[in-house]
Amino acid sequence: MGDTVEDTLQRMEYRVIELLEKRIGGALSGHRLEEILNDEAREGWMLKSITHADVKGRIGPGAVEGLIITFERPVA
């Protein structure tokens, strides 16, 4: 009885956070980013990626500068 592919692969779940410059009142700060990373780590989330992006605004044609932060953790 060998292991199946499902037995050897770890199932993961993901969380995506949009950190918009506008929401934090000015330039994206390292301190604010550090708080988010530590808060998520306490809940078992591991940083997967950080992407700089112009996120299209909900109102009007403009874009808002920000970060898209992706976390992952094993499914319990």
Give the pLDDT of residue 33. Answer: 86
- Model pLDDT for residues 46-69, shown as the tens digit of each residue: 999 999 887 565 555 666 678 899
| pLDDT of 4 strictly over 70 | no
Q: Which helix (H) or strand (E) holds 6?
A: helix 5-8
Cβ contact 19:28 at 8 Å: yes
Q: Which residues, including other chains, have CB under 8 Å from residue 68's CB and lie 6 or more apart?
A: 16, 17, 18, 19, 50, 51, 53, 55
Report the distance separating Cα 51 and Cα 19, nearest Å: 10
Q: Which helix (H) or strand (E) holds 18?
A: strand 12-20
